Amino acid sequence: MSYSLDFGWLYGALGAIGRGAAMTVFLIVVTTLAGILISVLAAAGRRSGTRWLRQAIGVYVEVIRNTPFLVQLFFIFFGLPSMGIRLDPVMAAIVAMTLNMAAYTTEIVGAGLDAVPLGQREAASALGLRPRLVFVKIVLPQALKVIFPALTSQVVIMMLESAVVSQIAVRDLTYEADMLQARTFRAFETYLVVTLVYLGLSVVVRRVLVAVGRRTLSAGVT
Amino acid sequence: MIEFTFWDILRNLLFATRWTVLLSAAAFIGGTVVGIAILMLRISKRSWARRFASGYIALFQGTPLLMQLFLMFFGLPMLGFRIEPWTAAVLALTFFASAYLAEIWRSGVEALPLGQWDAGASLGLHRVQELRLVILPQAFAITRAPVVGFLVQLIKGTALTSIIGFDELLRTSNAITNATFQPFTVYGLVAVIFFVLCYPLTQYARTLEKREFAH
């Protein structure tokens, strides 16, 4: 039995692949910004908030980290409407991805905050900076610098995991691949091309983040 | 329409859980075997072997697991194999796990002081013996925490096999949801079951990590 690969469909499919890739990139950009913002707040809250808040954050982190992303996505998209919270697919994907990413990055940011020597905080307060300024201007930049490589990896992992949002009909790269293979009957070739696009995206995202980290935090990332 | 009570839902989900557990175990065992082979190439003296292994690892770590599952599911039939979701799921997860495990163990090998290799050589051990008796036992021992951590990731990864039609926990829950119209309860329960499977392992990994730091 012989099977010959056929990539004749590819030229006509470039538009669809491009649109899908754009959606995937859009999702990961929004998620990264929202997720890191939330995780900075959560990591700080876990270290200074009331006991009740600390425990709530701890439960959130453990629940997200110990259940599959796909289950979280289905719960948010299919489960929450019965409580009256109805989200459209893209919104549900953004919420699910942000909650997922923030749980992982809360731990990462927390480790970074712990790595900043106490003397830095004391020196800043001795100079008369208010506690909030000490955190924003002194502690956070140093923490982010230390954890930048870990954050970069987490963003790439999240982007790869975002392939499953196609299951709730978000028109991302995987969704477009599903549509293409249904039209061309060239399932293997289609998924092979899209896999390579993902591989390229993860390389590019990593490069971009490293460059951003170098410029803004002078973080020495390789 | 058949009425589903809460217990019917739970019982059906628990029955499906064994497939999730079995698939995780099969993939972990397969991943260990293939992973050791990749590790051997990754720390080989030959540069082509090292390059092949790091390419393999980069490929599996740089592409979505869902795509790996699809390629296995649609690709193997082209080679003339009759493929069922179970076979595709086990194979894809095995290769996925092997890449991550090889990378974890490599970090363990590289963390060992070079003196360990020298000591092995000075005892007159052949390279294979050196690896088997000196290097690998220590590398495995110091990477136990990340390996358990990866096992959690692997268990969560099995949920994706529902998409290629393997009847594990999540696919069963989709079917139950379609019959009962209670997605909140069903997916909530699925999350609880996955949590019960994964949380003890997460805690175990944390204990191992603390013990490692205590040394």
Chain A partners within 8 Å of B92 (Cβ) = none
Measured between alpha carbons, how far is B38 from A58 in angstroms, rounded to an integer? 37
B160 and chain A in contact, CB less than 8 A = yes
Residue B211: pLDDT band with limits 50, 70, 90: confident
Q: Which residue of chain A comes nearest to B174, CA vs CA?
A: A74
Measured between alpha carbons, how far is A187 from B75 in angstroms, rounded to an integer? 8
**Interchain contact, A75 vs B162, CB within 8 Å:** no
Q: Which residue of chain B comes nearest to A177, CA vs CA?
A: B67
What would the pLDDT profile of B80-131 be if each residue is shown by its tens digit?
777 889 999 999 999 999 999 999 999 999 999 999 999 998 999 988 899 9
B190 and chain A in contact, CB less than 8 A = yes
pLDDT at A219: 60
Cα–Cα–Cα angle for B116, B118, B124, nearest 5°? 110
Measured between alpha carbons, how far is B57 from B35 in angstroms, rounded to an integer? 10
Chain A partners within 8 Å of B59 (Cβ) = 199
* Continuous H helices in B43-84: 47-61, 65-75
Residue B78: pLDDT band with limits 50, 70, 90: confident
Of the two residues A210 and B215, the one the predictor is more confident about is A210
| pLDDT by position in tens, chain A (length 222) | 466 778 878 888 899 999 999 999 999 999 999 999 999 999 999 988 789 999 999 999 999 999 999 999 999 999 999 888 999 999 999 999 999 999 999 999 999 999 999 999 999 999 999 988 999 989 999 999 999 999 999 999 999 999 999 999 999 999 999 999 988 888 889 999 999 999 999 999 999 999 988 888 776 554
Other CB atoms within a 10 A radius of the CB of residue A76 amount to 20
A156 within 8 A of A199, measured Cβ to Cβ:
no
pLDDT at B49: 96
pLDDT at B1: 54
pLDDT at B119: 92
- List all residues of chain A from 177 to 216 with a beta carbon under 8 Å from chain B: 177, 181, 187-188, 191-192, 194-195, 198-199, 202-203
Chain B partners within 8 Å of A187 (Cβ) = 70, 74
CA of B193, closest CA in chain A: separation in Å? 9
**Interchain contact, B64 vs A3, CB within 8 Å:** no
Closest by Cα among B141, B49, B44, B157 to B100: B157
A67 and chain B in contact, CB less than 8 A = yes
Q: What is the mean pLDDT of chain B?
A: 93
B141 and chain A in contact, CB less than 8 A = no
A60 and chain B in contact, CB less than 8 A = no
Chain B partners within 8 Å of A78 (Cβ) = 177, 183, 187
Measured between alpha carbons, how far is B29 from A96 in angstroms, rounded to an integer? 31
**Interchain contact, B183 vs A78, CB within 8 Å:** yes
**Interchain contact, A191 vs B71, CB within 8 Å:** yes
What would the pLDDT profile of B126-182 be if each residue is shown by its tens digit?
888 999 999 999 999 999 999 999 999 999 999 999 999 999 999 999 999 988 888
CA of A134, closest CA in chain B: separation in Å? 30
pLDDT at B81: 78
Phi (first) and psi of residue A166, to 5 degrees: -60, -25
**Interchain contact, A83 vs B64, CB within 8 Å:** no
**Residue of A63, A79, A177 with shortest CB distance to B184:** A79
**Interchain contact, B63 vs A198, CB within 8 Å:** yes
CA of A67, closest CA in chain B: separation in Å? 5
Q: Which residue of chain A comes nearest to B78, CA vs CA?
A: A3
Measured between alpha carbons, how far is A100 from A106 in angstroms, rounded to an integer? 10
Q: Which residue of chain B comes nearest to A200, CA vs CA?
A: B62
**Residue of B68, B152, B184 with shortest CB distance to A83:** B184
Using DSSP's 3-state secondary structure scheme, residue A116 falls into: coil
**By percentage, how much of chain B surpasses pLDDT 70?**
99
Quote the pTM value.
0.91
pLDDT at B18: 95
